[in-house]
Copies of this chain bind each other. A is one copy, B any other.
Amino acid sequence: MSTISRPQNPEENLRVKSVFDDIRATRGSDFINNLWYYLAFDPELLENTWRDVKEVMAKPSHLDAVTKELIYAAVSIANSCEYCIHSHTAAARAQGMTDKQYAEFLSIVSLAGRTNNLLNGIKVPVDKEFDHEKIIEK
């Protein structure tokens, strides 16, 4: 169950069609995933969301493509976003992630969940040595 209806023929709206065309061209694929169909209920929200996703995920980058998808998936797991977990895990695989890398990703994400709770529970004070300004002064 979704809180809005999937529009029937969203591309009859020219703003929607323009975004969908750009998604297809950017990805080199005809497949448009559900996110964009549902967002088509409001062309402005669709346009802004796609613009930001394209800007961050599809532009020339200082991080490799698998790393970017894994960072995205890590946040999505911590936020319990089922759709995002599936879409970005699938994207990481499509970018070449191996099973070994995925197992290692899961071990890091779960270790983080463990120490996050441990440190938030004790409220360990942050070491001065982690201070960026101190580090760059050296």
Contact = CB atoms under 8 A, between A and B. Distances in A.
Given A74-B74, A81-B80, A114-B111, A2 B126 contact: no
**Interface SS of chain A:** helix
A101 B52 CA distance: 18
A3 interface: yes
Interface of A: 1-5, 31, 33-35, 38-39, 41-42, 44-45, 48-49, 52-53, 55-57, 61-64, 67-68, 70-87, 89-90, 93, 98-127, 129-133, 135-136
Given A3-B132, A34-B126, A78-B78, 6 more contacts: A48-B52, A67-B70, A75-B116, A83-B124, A89-B121, A110-B118
